[in-house]
């Protein structure tokens, strides 16, 4: 039985690629001695890696449930909330550190 990637898995990977792009852009356009920019890029990279790990974990979990023909819920109420909280934290840390720098 061949299973193809789910739409949700691909959407979360797209989210991770966008956040990783933000981290890469921050690294490319900051001054070499900008500590705040490095911290912000690191936080965005961590957020992207968490999104990749979450999407892979959820995809694997759902594939195992589908193969066992499990009729229970496939919904995860906490993962997206946690990832959005981590993203919000990354943005707020970046904003607060930049405002303190002024």
Q: pLDDT tens digits, residue range 73-83? A: 877 889 889 99
Q: Which pLDDT band holds residue 15 (cuts at 50, 70, 90)?
A: very high
Containing 86, the helix (H) or strand (E) segment is: helix 79-101
Determine the Cα–Cα distance for residues 85 and 99; give it in Å rounded to an integer. Answer: 21
Determine the Cα–Cα distance for residues 90 and 83; give it in Å rounded to an integer. Answer: 11
39-48: per-residue pLDDT in tens? 999 999 999 9
What value, to the nearest 5°, has the Cα angle with vertex 58 and ends 69 and 56?
125
Q: Which two tokens stand for residue 2?
A: 């061949």
């Amino acid at each position: 039985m061949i299973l193809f990637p789910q739409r949700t898995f691909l959407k979360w990977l797209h989210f991770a690629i966008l956040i990783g792009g933000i981290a890469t852009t921050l690294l490319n356009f900051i001054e070499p001695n900008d500590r705040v920019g490095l911290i912000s890029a690191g936080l965005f990279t961590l957020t992207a890696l968490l999104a990749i790990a979450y999407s892979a974990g959820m995809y694997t979990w759902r594939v195992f449930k589908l193969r066992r023909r499990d009729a229970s819920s496939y919904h995860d109420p906490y993962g997206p909330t946690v990832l959005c909280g981590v993203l919000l934290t990354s943005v707020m840390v970046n904003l607060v550190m930049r405002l303190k720098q002024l």
